[in-house]
Structure 1
Amino acid sequence: MTEKNIDLKIKLIHGFSNKVRLQILECIKEKEKTVSQIVEELKGNQSNISQHLACLKGCGIIVGRNEGKYCYYSLRNERIRELLEMFDTVLEDVHSDVACCANHVD
């Protein structure tokens, strides 16, 4: 794998490496939602959520669809949904190790 591909992979993984971004992804995993719906469900700050949505969209993880005055956000495709589900599957296998890992603390 080339250095450029490694750097791109790091950027992609970075999109998943934040608590708020993961919460957003889980929030829209099954159904597209507006910013207001996401903010309400996550009980978050609209400005903060919007910044994270921009990051996710910029990384190509989500897409936005305009309808009237609303923008609906959803996962880019089924592969992103499968990746989120794979995270859960792998986590089941390594849960106790991850829980004890002192290298990555919030």
Structure 2
Amino acid sequence: MKQTETSLAADPCAAPTAAVALFRSLGDPARLAILRRLAEGEARVTDLVTCVGLAQSTVSAHLSCLRECGLVVSRPVGRASLHSLARPELLDLLAAAEQLLAATGEAVDLCPTYGIPSATEESTR
């Protein structure tokens, strides 16, 4: 049994802190967009800036977070760095998430806590 399975079996009602941190790191739209781009192959910060449409400093901060979480690695190439996914399992996780979202239809988007707020909800805030 893997360590994650062991920790879940020990107390199925306790959220594993590592899993919470992982999903929080994936919960930011910019970081998720960066990971989706890196799933296609290595990229420089300037490539990611173009892809996600954020400032270079913001993309660099997101990459720093993803590196600290062990999800992204980088290697120097001249004066730049090429960034890539650290673990191929991340591709499986992203694919599983897409399958789950396809299976649930719009339910996640319509979730009152985490979904996209409707125009009516926005006007009442």
Which structure is higher in RCO with an 8 Å CA cutoff and minimum separation 6? 1
Task: Report Cα offsets for 1:9-36 as digits up to 9, x if no partner.
Answer: 1111111010000110111111100001
Structure whose CA Rg is larger: 2
Q: Any unmatched runs of 5+ in structure 2?
A: 1-6, 117-125
TM-score under structure 1 normalisation? 0.90
- The alignment partner of 1:33 has SS state of coil
Q: Is the 1:15–1:61 contact (alpha carbons within 8 Å) kept by the matching residues of 2?
A: no
- Runs of 4+ displaced beyond 4 Å: none
Q: Any unmatched runs of 5+ in structure 1?
A: none
Count of paired positions: 106
- Does 1:14 pair with 2:16? no
Structure 2 residue aligned with 1:47: 57
Give 1:29-48 correspondences, 5 Å limit: 29-48=39-58
Structure 2 residue aligned with 1:83: 93
Find the partner of 1:24 among 14, 34, 44: 34
Specify the code of the residue in structure 2 equivalent to 1:24.
I
TM-score under structure 2 normalisation? 0.77
Q: Is the 2:108–2:114 contact (alpha carbons within 8 Å) kept by the matching residues of 1?
A: no
Task: Report Cα offsets for 1:46-95 as digits up to 9, x if no partner.
Answer: 11111111111100111111111111111112111111111111110112
Structure 1 residue aligned with 2:76: 66
Tell me how large the CA RMSD over aligned residues is: 1.9
Q: Is the 1:21–1:56 contact (alpha carbons within 8 Å) kept by the matching residues of 2?
A: yes
Give the direction of change, closer, same or farther, for the CA distance of 1:11–1:26 in structure 2 (3 Å limit): same
